[in-house]
Structure 1
Amino acid sequence: MTADQLGLRGRLVVVSGAAGGGIGTTVTEMVAQAGATVVAVSRSKEKLDQHIGPLVDRGLPIMPVAADAAIDEGIDTALDAARSAARDTGTQLYGLVNVAGGAAPATWMPSTRVRRSDWRELFAANLETMFFMSQAVAGELRTSGCPGSIVSISSISGMNTAPFHIAYGTAKAAVVAATRTMGAELAAAGIRVNAVAPGVTETPASGTYVDDDPERDRRAIAMGRRGTPAEQAGAILFLLSDLSSYITGQTLLVDGGLNLRWTHVGADNTSLFLKDDNFRDAITRWEGQDLT
């Protein structure tokens, strides 16, 4: 397979959540290597300097942009940068990859302990950011009359149960629903909308609560190991590219067969991947909640 088969040369792709050092950074690199100009968006200039700066120094066609995709002003900044980059490079806006999102360890808890503020925070980070960035890019593509491809990150937690992580799992399930609906609405305009649902993947973010246990991985995952950012980015690149030109509204589960076994939930219904017993005890504590 050559870069030309991907059909990304001469096109511009926005990556939202590009500078976390995991999936977003890897997909930024791979899309640029495929010949596209990439607008790499992150709310953290420090992380852009750390993770995207070295890619720019290598000569890859990447424009780092510090903007918060969770707010309208940040989306406007990202789109203005994309327009400017398209003019400067003679490219055409074509794609969007929504990686921004995630959940801090503090968001793991029983469903009876979830507050409205917890729920809203996770939906804002994982659903609203994806939707409103997609809306903005789709609007730009429709105005220009150009085709395009939008790919978002869901999660295995949005494809099945997410014990003690209900808000995150439900938000990621909503990403799947939004992907299907936008795929149907935008198909006639030549804009494809798809998603990738990663399983357990070795990223800086997952390292905050997932420990290193190869034997546990062999028991839980059909392929016997966790995924890498490059493996998730490869699926994203496929859905972004012309190789998937007849696919829209779909969510591709990239989990090494974890869902085929679904044995990573223990007797107490918590994930076997959680790092330590103290963390497990903290998130499963039911007594004494005050939700007022």
Structure 2
Amino acid sequence: MSAAAGFEGLGLRDRIVIVSGAGGGGIGTAVTRLVATAGATVVAVSRSKDNLDTHINPLAAEGLSVIPVAADAGTDEGITKVLERVADLPGSLHGLVNVAGGADPATWMPATRVTREDWRALFAQNLETMFFMSQGVARALREQGSPGSIVSVSSISGMNTAPFHIAYGTAKAALVAATRTLAVELAQDGIRVNAVAPGVTETPASRAYVGTDPDRDRRAITMGRRGQPEEQAGPILFLLSDLSTYLTGQTLLVDGGLNLRWTHLGGDHTSLFLENEDFRAAITR
């Protein structure tokens, strides 16, 4: 039985999908596994060769069609490297998943303390990388003369407020706006552009500032728990696939109903998920 058994109708067999930000062991890695299992060849991109060795090479060893590429998707040189690797592969380019982004714990702070350097760095990491990678793939799809699908990862912080994380939240909101405009411009080429906005998801990156507290999760999240990377990968696969051929310009909130019970802010307006009191104190000073 092939790896793609059970995924008929998705239209991904023998197609190439780029996953930018594949190597972190979280959403990007989960997307890489699922999309490859659905029959696509996945070009898995990460700045870190070590991350590719740890999280992506084992997928290839399992027999999945995964091609690791060490490149910085935040640079023109990195994007060129990725697209040149795609051009060398059999099959046609179909899609892109923009996962690369995020924010270090040090970027949490009051709005009054954010510097221009902080602001620009988070916009570069979360918006510019998405936009210019999407631009490069859209150009390649146009030259190829075939339709395709671009899916980017925003955040619940870009769909609501982001207290003490204003630059990150604003960058993720801008990603949603860029998704809508790209969807309009690229529609005549048959290129669909959508996004997902994850809620609190259990990933290696989130563990830097989100502690384990099942009681808190039950209070804050309608479904009573944090999401898993695989639960973000499923909606992303749907948006990539032929099951969503009449859907573009949308951002799908995948948050377990967190937005329905927007009660995760404490009396000081910091997130209840930030259980480390030293960290909480540091970001509000």
Give the TM bin, normalised by the shorter chain.
over 0.9
Which residue does the alignment assign to 1:11?
15
Which residue does the alignment assign to 1:239?
239
Which residue does the alignment assign to 2:138?
138
Which residue does the alignment assign to 1:261?
261
* Deviation for aligned residue 1:10: 1.4
**Cα distance in 2 between the residues matched to 1:48 and 1:219:** 37
**Cα distance in 2 between the residues matched to 1:83 and 1:262:** 45
Which residue does the alignment assign to 2:193?
193
Aligned partner of 2:187: which letter? A
RMSD: 0.8
Aligned 1:59-208 pairs, distance under 5 A:
59-85=63-89, 89=90, 91-208=91-208
* Deviation for aligned residue 1:24: 0.2
**Cα distance in 2 between the residues matched to 1:67 and 1:83:** 16
Aligned partner of 1:6: which letter? L
**Cα distance in 2 between the residues matched to 1:60 and 1:110:** 44
* Deviation for aligned residue 1:180: 0.2
**Cα distance in 2 between the residues matched to 1:105 and 1:196:** 22
Partner of 1:192: helix, strand, or coil? strand
* Deviation for aligned residue 1:2: 3.0
**Cα distance in 2 between the residues matched to 1:101 and 1:198:** 13
Partner of 1:6: helix, strand, or coil? coil
* Deviation for aligned residue 1:164: 0.1
Aligned partner of 2:230: which letter? A
CA shift digits 1:206-229 (9 cap, x unpaired): 000000000000000000000000
Partner of 2:282: helix, strand, or coil? helix
Which residue does the alignment assign to 2:222?
222
Identity %: 73
Aligned partner of 1:92: which letter? S
**Cα distance in 1 between the residues matched to 2:261 and 2:58:** 39
Aligned partner of 2:32: which letter? T
**Cα distance in 1 between the residues matched to 2:125 and 2:213:** 29
Provide structure 1 residue ranges, at least 5 long, that are not aligned to the other structure: 286-292
CA shift digits 1:177-196 (9 cap, x unpaired): 00000001111110000000
Aligned 1:272-291 pairs, distance under 5 A:
272-285=272-285
Which residue does the alignment assign to 1:55?
59
Task: With the length of structure 1 as denominator, give the TM-score of the two structures.
Answer: 0.95
Aligned partner of 1:261: which letter? R
Task: With the length of structure 2 as denominator, give the TM-score of the two structures.
Answer: 0.98
Aligned partner of 1:212: which letter? T
Aligned partner of 2:171: which letter? A
Partner of 2:9: helix, strand, or coil? helix
1:36 and 2:30 equivalent? no
**Cα distance in 2 between the residues matched to 1:77 and 1:221:** 41
CA shift digits 1:144-202 (9 cap, x unpaired): 11000000000000000000000000000000000000001111110000000000000
CA shift digits 1:25-51 (9 cap, x unpaired): 010000000000010000100000000
Which residue does the alignment assign to 1:290?
none
Partner of 2:12: helix, strand, or coil? coil
Task: Report the number of matched residues.
Answer: 281
Aligned partner of 1:7: which letter? G
Aligned partner of 1:11: which letter? R
Provide structure 2 residue ranges, at least 5 long, that are not aligned to the other structure: none
1:213 and 2:217 equivalent? no
Partner of 2:212: helix, strand, or coil? coil
* Deviation for aligned residue 1:70: 0.5
**Cα distance in 2 between the residues matched to 1:253 and 1:50:** 29
Aligned partner of 2:134: which letter? S
